[in-house]
Every structure is written in C-alpha cells, then in structure tokens.
Amino acid sequence: MSSGPKVIAVTVNWNRGQDTLECISSILEGNPGTGIIVVDNGSHDGSVALFREKYPDLDIIENSENLGYVKGVNAGITLALNKGAEYVMTINNDAIAHPGMVSGLLYGMERHSDAGIVGPKIFYYGSGDIVWFKGGHFNRFLGYPSHPYMDKHDDGKNDDKKVEFITGCIMMVRTEVFRKLGLFDPDYEIYSEDLDFCLKAMDEGWASWVIPSVAAEHKVSTSTGVAGSNTMTPYRSYFCGRNMMILLGKRFKGARLVTCLIGQVTIRMPYFFLLIIMQGEKGALKFFIKGFVSSLKYWATQRS
C-alpha cells in the first residue's frame, strides 16, 4: 500500500504561470491531502521559478519543449502511477477546484462500483451558475459528442448521473483503468482524447459518472483560444475538424462508420461551419478544413 497521497492531480502548464498557480492553490487550500504534479511544457515566461518560489516541494516535470497537451499530461500521469496514487485527477491549469471537490469525487467513486471515471459540475469562471460541463453525451449512430447542459443556468439538480464521457478538464480516474487501457492516445494531441478514453473504458466495463454535488470553474481556452469563451480560433478549428474523424476511424467499421460519416457531413460539419462564420475568426474555416483533410491523410496512412 502506498504511503503517498491517495489522489494525485496532474496539470499541464505552458506560459500561463499565474493561472496555474491559481489552479494549484485551489486544490491545496480547498482539498487538503491531494498530491499535485505540474508538467511544464517548455515555458519561457518564468513559470517554473514562480512555482518553486511559491511551492518549493511541488513535483514539477520540466520539458525542454512544448510536447502538446496529451504527451504532457501523459508524462504527469506516468509519474503519478509510479508514486503509487490510487486515483489520478487531470485538471486543466485554467480550472479552479471548489473546496471539497476532490473528496466529493472520491465519495462518488465509492457510491458506484462500476465507476472508473468521475468528474464534477463545471461552471464558467466567475459566471455564477452558468454551466460549462455537467456530463457528456456521445451519439454512437451519427458519431458526434455533445455537452447537453452547456451555456445553461444550473438547474440545481445534484443527483449523480452516468454519462458517456467526462471532460478531461477535470477527470478523476482509478489508476487500474490507466493500467488496463494505457494512457491518453497521443494521436489526438489535444481535444477528443478524453472522449476516446471514456469510450474505451466503457468497452471494458468501467462507467463514467458526473458528480454534480461538487463543482469547479473553468476559464475556458486560455491557452488555445479566446479566454473565457468557446470561440473557434484557427487552432481550435483545426483540431475540431481533425480529431473527431480520427476517433471515428479508430472505433468504427462497416455500416456504423458509414452512419457516423453521414452524421459528420450532415450535422456536425454544417454546425461548425455556421458557428465559425458567425464568430468571424479569420482563417478558422480554412483551418477546420485543413484539419478534416489531415484526418483523411491519417486514415490513409493507418490503413495502408
């Protein structure tokens, strides 16, 4: 039995030292007993020095370059597993944990014997009760995910709910799930790796549960877009155009893959095209299409 922390949180930083410090503080001050690992992806803003000054005993992995989110968080998860954690909690560095969130997620795990992955209710940072995430749904017939409660006022219902996926923004995972499935798939780089992981876990009999009685806040897209919003920047658009197609190619074959492709062409792509046009981010539509083309090249490479 490990004598270290039962839960180790892993967060990835890239030139957002102050945001990461606020994230760390929210965990340490409001959720005592939780270990923390920070993976710094080659920051050049003095982030690491800032962390060491504030928290001299903090576990920090210093990468010499930006490895991207998935490879970065995987490095932190590996260290947490080696330290003997029973649960690993990934948390975006622009997320703020409310007091008691970690223990609440642990209790959620204990309430549901099939739970391999749990997550809290997440509000937009400083919004009061505007929900960013309260459980994810995945349409297996048409092949697209959704956040049914996003941008709505919280309805106050706090019953645990089994869902298709938990966002990697804050996701607590039994370590045996990582040991059985492996880590997040680096082919995604960023976005959709959490959905892919939850679907794999479901295939092996582990359920995902949202525990809305505990909460957090998310600043949203501080590193990848317009902070505080879901704006489709060129960067976000590229991976939105790319990664869902990669996920479908990995998971489905035959008639199911055909229906999922129909769903992409008739529902998901038109939705994003309209969203990008309405938001008016220069170059975003072009990068969405580039991402889609990149996914087709990925398919061709993997199946050759």
Q: What is the DSSP string of 54-115?
A: H-TT-EEEEESS---HHHHHHHHHHHHHHTT-SEEEEE-TTEEEPTTHHHHHHHHHHH-TTE
Structural domains in the chain (count): 2
Asked if residue 297 and residue 210 are part of one domain, the reply reads no
252 and 125 belong to one structural domain:
no
Same domain for 192 and 247: no
- Considering the domain architecture, whether residues 128 and 11 belong to the same structural domain is answered as yes
The residue from 194, 218, 242 where one domain ends is 218
Task: Output the pLDDT for position 5.
Answer: 72
The rounded distance, in Å, linking the Cα atoms of 123 and 132 is 5
Q: Is residue 141 part of a domain?
A: yes
Q: What is the mean pLDDT of the chain?
A: 92
Pair (280, 205) in one structural domain: no
Task: Indicate if the pLDDT at residue 1 is higher than 50.
Answer: no
Cβ neighbours, 10 Å, residue 19: 21
Residue 103 has pLDDT above 60, yes or no: yes
Within 9-65, where are the H helices? 17-30, 47-54
Domain boundary among 218, 249, 279: 218
Q: Which residue has the tokens 């679907």?
A: 199
Nearest to 8 by CA among 36, 28, 30, 38: 36
- In this structure, the answer to whether residues 164 and 245 fall within a common structural domain is no
Indicate whether 149 belongs to any domain.
yes
Residue 228 has pLDDT above 80, yes or no: no
Query: Tell me: the pLDDT tens digits for 57-85?
Result: 999 999 999 999 999 999 999 999 999 99
Residue 303 has a pLDDT of 61
Q: Is the pLDDT of residue 152 over 90?
A: yes
Residue 104 lies in a domain: yes
The CATH number of whichever domain residue 159 belongs to comes to 3.90.550.60
Percent with pLDDT over 90 in the chain: 81
Q: Is the pLDDT of residue 115 over 80?
A: yes
Whether 182 maps to a domain, the answer reads: yes
Domain end residue (candidates: 218, 247, 273): 218
Can you give the residue range of the structural domain that contains 293? 234-303
Q: Are residues 134 and 193 both part of a single domain?
A: yes
Query: Are 244 and 150 within one domain?
Result: no
* One domain for residues 122 and 78: yes
Same domain, 147 and 31: yes
* Residue 224 lies inside a defined structural domain of this protein: no
Rounded to an integer, the average pLDDT of 144-151 is 91
Q: Is residue 132 predicted with pLDDT exceeding 60?
A: yes
Q: What is the pLDDT of residue 304?
A: 56
**Average pLDDT for 160-184:** 97
Identify the pLDDT of residue 3: 52
* Confidence check: pLDDT of 174 > 90: yes
Contact 76, 162 (CB under 8 A): no
User: What would the pLDDT profile of 21-45 be if each residue is shown by its tens digit?
Assistant: 999 999 999 898 999 999 999 999 9
Task: Decide: 290 and 234 in contact? Cβ < 8 Å.
Answer: no
Tell whether 229 is covered by a domain.
Answer: no
For the record, the structure tokens of 30 come out as 């409001």
Question: From CA 75, how far away is CA 43, in angstroms rounded?
Answer: 16
d(CA 295, CA 300) in angstroms, rounded, equals: 9
Q: Give the pair of three-digit tokens for residue 213.
A: 């009685």
Rounded distance, CA 276 to CA 144, Å? 18
pLDDT, position 232:
87
Interval 243-286: pLDDT, tens: 999 999 998 889 999 999 999 999 999 999 999 999 888 999 99
